[in-house]
Amino acid sequence: MTDNNDTGEGGHRSGFVALTGQPNVGKSTLLNKLLGEKLAIVSRRPQTTRTRILGIHNGPGVQIAFLDTPGIHEPTTPLNRAMVALARGAIEEVDASLLVTDVKMAVRSTRYGGATVHEGDREVIAALKKAGRPAALLLNKIDTVSRDRVLPVIDAYSEAHEWAFIYPLSARTGEGVERLPELIAPLLPVSPPLFPPDVLTDQAERILASEYIREQVFRFTHAEVPYGVAVEVRQFDETERGEGEGGLVRINADIIVEKESQKGIVIGRRGAMLRRVGTAARTNLERLLGTKVWLGLHVRVEKDWTRGPSGLRRFE
C-alpha cells in the first residue's frame, strides 16, 4: 500500500481541477461519487449548482482539489450571468479541467449511428481552448446508451479538441469513477498536498446547511417553484453541540422566493410542504454534522431577488 504522502515516481502531485460543462450533465453527482461523501446537492433540474464547490480527494501520491462549477449556458438573468461567469473563471484558474458531457446529448439517432458535438459543449470547448490548460473529456451516463453508440461520440469530440484523455463513465452507478484520479494525476504539477488530509471541503457547515435545505425544496416542489428560490441561514447555534445523541445544533433558516404564490406552494396546505422539506433536510443535516439538529424554517418573499444586486451578493 502506498501512503498518500509518498512521492513515488515523479513525486507527489497536487492541484486544482474544474468540473465543467452544461447544466444537468452530472457534475455534482460525479463529485460526490469521487469523494465518497455527499458534498454537492443534486437534483434533476438544471442550474442546481450556483457556486463553486471545492471537494478534496486524497489518493496514493496525489491530492486533487475538484471545483464543481455551475453549468455553462446562455444566461437570461443577472443571476445566471453571474453563475456562468463563475464557471468560466474557474476554467482560467485551475491546473486542468474536465468537460463532463451527457453522452445521450451527443448521440444522434440516425440509421448510420452517427454522433455530433452538442452545441452547448462547443461553447465550453471554446473556453477551454482559450484557457490553454490541459483538459479531458468525460462521457457521462454511459449506462443509458448502448456501447456501440459511444465510439461515434468519441470520434466526433476527438475532432473538436486535443484532449488529454477521453474517458467514458457513469457517475450514477460509479462505473469507471474509481480509476479517474489515476488518469488525472499526470495533468497536475509535482507538489506536496495543498490541504491537510482530513479536510474535505472549504465550505462552512453553515453554507452546506443552506444548500441541503435548498435541495429539498427542489426535490418536493418539482416544477411548481422555479429557480427563484434561495436559502439563508440566520442562526447556526453550536453551543449545545456534542457527539451523537447528546448534542444538538440549532438552525434557523429563511427560504426566499420571488412571489407570494411561490410562498404558498413552499408552505403547503396547513404547512404540510414546509414540514416535509424540514424533515428531509434535518435527516441529511444530522448525518452531515454527526449530531441532532433542531431546524426552524421560515418562508419570505423578496420580489425579483435574482435580478437585483442584493440577490447577487449572496453568491459572491
Q: pLDDT tens digits, residue range 258-286?
A: 888 889 999 999 999 999 999 999 998 99
Q: What is the pLDDT of residue 47?
A: 46
The pLDDT-based confidence of 229 (bands split at 50, 70, 90) is confident
Long-range contacts of 50-56 (CB under 8 A, 24+ apart): 50/79, 50/83, 50/315, 51/86, 51/315, 52/86, 52/87, 52/90, 53/28, 53/201, 53/203, 54/201, 54/202, 54/203, 55/31, 55/200, 55/201, 56/195, 56/199, 56/200, 56/201
Q: What is the pLDDT of residue 247?
A: 87
* Mean pLDDT of the 233-242 span: 88
Domains in the chain and their CATH numbers? Answer: 13-187 (3.40.50.300), 205-315 (3.30.300.20)
Average pLDDT, the chain: 81
* Mean pLDDT of the 47-73 span: 75
Q: What is the pLDDT of residue 70?
A: 63
Over 50: is that where the pLDDT of 123 sits? yes
The pLDDT-based confidence of 49 (bands split at 50, 70, 90) is very low
Compute the radius of gyration of the chain from its Cα atoms: 21
Most confident segment among 90-99, 132-141, 234-243: 132-141
DSSP 278: H
Q: What is the pLDDT of residue 6?
A: 45
* Mean pLDDT of the 213-236 span: 82
Q: Which of 6, 197, 189, 203 is nearest to 94 (CA)?
A: 189
pLDDT tens column, 139-191: 999 999 888 888 889 999 999 999 999 999 999 999 999 999 999 999 999 99
Distance from chain centroid for Cα 315: 15
Cα separation of 34 and 120, whole Å?
25
Q: What predicted TM-score, i.e. pTM, was given to this entire model?
A: 0.71
pLDDT tens column, 189-204: 999 999 988 888 877 7
In the chain, pLDDT over 90 holds for what percent of residues?
40
Cα separation of 302 and 222, whole Å?
20
* Mean pLDDT of the 29-52 span: 66
Q: What is the pLDDT of residue 277?
A: 95
Q: Are 139 and 167 in contact (CB under 8 A)?
A: yes
- Decide which of 151 and 84 is more confident: 151
Question: Torsion-angle region of residue 222: left (phi > 0), alpha (psi -120 to 50) or beta?
Answer: left
* Mean pLDDT of the 79-85 span: 49
Q: What is the pLDDT of residue 86?
A: 53
Q: What is the pLDDT of residue 311?
A: 55
Over 80: is that where the pLDDT of 45 sits? no
